Amino acid sequence: AVMHATRTAPARLRTPATAEGYRRTPRARVNRLTRASAAPFYTPATDYVAQKKMLEVGVRTPPLGLGLAALGRPGYINIGHDADIKGKSVDEMRAHAHETLDAAWAMGVRYFDCARSYGASEEFLSSWLQSRNIPNDKCVVGSKWGYTYTADWRVDTDGEAHEVKEHTAENLARQYPQSADLLDPYLRLYQIHSATAQSGVLRNKDVVAELSELKARRGVKIGLTLSGVEQADTLREAMTVTAPDGSKLFDCVQATWNVMEQSAGPALVEAKDAGMEVIVKEALANGRLSSRNPDDTVLPVMEALRALASDFGSAPGRFDSFVYKADSAAIAIAMMQGFQPMVLSGAATPHQVRSNAGALTLLKYLTNAGDAAEGRVREILEMARRDPESYWAERAALEWN
């Protein structure tokens, strides 16, 4: 049984260490590469965490990935982004991205997610993979098409859009070779960026045919990402889309789910049951689930998350020097959901990715605690839940910084 993110009484949480597709990782196999880039003295004990199969491509990875939306360009909507990115030149940001990627790898992260519209994210990731000699069978890379980066490395664009959406077969034919040129042979997943009913992309026969050809000819998995109040409806429509040979087109869905925005939960369970991989983005709500959020109404949620992390991360009789924080708890709660997601860290600094990685061990602690942890998680889900319309209106009002 699974915990559904709805107002109806949820069932028991999953047990990731024993669920299908999960296993424990031997200590000797963890963090061999870039060990020197590991965190300062205190880091989460990620040696014994659940591992999941990712897209059936022969790579096992913890259920934590790294998204590069905040690392590939100087401007983004995350609260406090400006304070995270000190040097804003391309060279400075490339070095900063590499440092953050090093920290993620040292924490066990093996899935990396970028997009054509995330500035230079694909180039930054490509140069890191090559410079660190990462074997292509040891990680999974996903990217996205459908938006074009137009900010030209500016933060203040005088009201012009930072990225422009174009869900056409022509744009797909233009953007996939650009992504593949930078990311092959690591690129295993190509996703429609923010598919919506309004764009009509799921009903565009030329797009469907081109994606089907990529899947058959290049062996790349096909996904879509979701955004907005209609995430669930868009996903259910996507699940009906078929390739010309009659097979299901989409292998993966990436959706926003967090303790504030839980509305896509039931549809994500349906997708998982239908065999789709599930990736969760914005688990920290673009910084709204952080101490940087000036909205006082979030304070009770933050305190509950901090208490959950403290109580179960530092249980009596167990020594763990890592300080588990609210971000670890919010990400761990997302990992606990019945749709068994890969949860993206949106970290913009090495410190943030190390803190986020605490979710991997906290997930184990919460799972082992059984009913005591389940009750606390349910309380947080109930108190934190926002109306989807309000949530997305607030997100749309976030300023690029």
> For residues 182-219, b (16+ Cβ closer than 10 Å) or e, as one string?
bbeebbbbbbbbbbbeebebbebeebbebbbebbeeee
A 10 A CB-CB count for 54 gives 26
Percent helix, strand and coil across the chain, each to the nearest 5? 40, 15, 45
User: What element of type H or E holds 384?
Assistant: helix 371-384
Q: Is the pTM of this model over 0.85?
A: yes
Contact yes or no for 56/219 (Cβ under 8 A):
no
End-to-end CA distance of the chain: 42
Q: With contact defined as beta carbons under 8 Å apart, do 121 and 73 qualify?
A: yes
pLDDT of residue 357: 95
Give the pLDDT band of residue 55 (cuts 50, 70, 90): confident
- Joined together, the tokens standing for residue 59 give 């790579």
Q: Answer yes or no: are the C-beta atoms of 308 and 300 closer than 8 Å.
A: no
Question: Angle 350-369/90-106 helices, nearest 10 degrees?
Answer: 30
**pLDDT of amino acid 319:** 64
In the predicted structure, residue 157 carries a pLDDT above the cut 50: yes
Got the DSSP string for 222-254? EEEE--STTHHHHHHHHTT-B-TTSSB--SEEE
- Confirm if 67 and 81 have CB atoms less than 8 A apart: no
What is the residue whose two structure tokens read 């200590």?
27
Amino acid in the structure at residue 41: F
The DSSP call for residue 10 is P
Written as one letter, the residue type at 292 is R
Nearest residue to 241 (alpha-carbon basis) of 203, 213, 284, 279: 203
Residue 50's pLDDT band, with cuts at 50, 70 and 90, is: low
Tokens 């069932």 appear where?
11
pLDDT in tens, 212-228: 999 999 999 999 999 99
pLDDT tens sequence across 180-208: 999 999 999 999 999 998 899 999 999 99
What is residue 57's predicted lDDT score, i.e. its pLDDT?
77
For residue 280, which of 220, 327, 334 has the smallest C-alpha distance?
334
* Rg (alpha carbons) of the chain, rounded to whole number: 20
Give the pLDDT band of residue 164 (cuts 50, 70, 90).
very high
Mean pLDDT of 378-400: 97
Q: How far apart are CA 227 and CA 169, in angstroms?
A: 21
User: Is residue 68 predicted with pLDDT exceeding 60?
Assistant: yes
How many CB atoms lie under 10 A from the CB of residue 45?
Answer: 15
Q: What is the pLDDT of residue 59?
A: 85
Q: What is the pLDDT of residue 1?
A: 41
Which tokens belong to 284?
Answer: 């920290």
d(CA 111, CA 126): 13
- pLDDT recorded at residue 56: 78
For residue 389, pLDDT beyond 80: yes
pLDDT at 147: 97
Distance CA 281, CA 279 (A): 7
- pLDDT above 70: residue 316: no
Which percentage of the chain shows pLDDT scores above 70? Answer: 86
The model's pLDDT over 254-287, given as tens digits with 9 standing for 90+, comes to 999 999 999 999 999 999 999 999 999 999 999 9
Express as a percent the part of the chain with pLDDT over 90.
Answer: 81
Q: pLDDT digits over 136-151, tens only?
A: 999 999 999 999 999 9
Query: How far apart are the C-alpha atoms of 164 and 256, rounded to whole Å?
Result: 20
pLDDT tops 90 at residue 48: no
- pLDDT band, very low/low/confident/very high, at 385 (cuts 50, 70, 90): very high
Buried b (16+ CB within 10 A) or exposed e, 70-90: bbbbbbbbbbebeebbeeeee
Q: What are phi and psi of 111, to 5 degrees?
A: -115, 130
Query: How is residue 76 written in tokens?
Result: 């983004």
CB within 8 Å of 346: residues ≥ 6 apart: 67, 69, 70, 78, 281, 282, 283, 284, 286
Best-predicted range by mean pLDDT among 44-53, 82-91, 309-318? 82-91
Is residue 264 within 8 Å of 289, Cβ to Cβ? no
Average pLDDT for the chain: 88
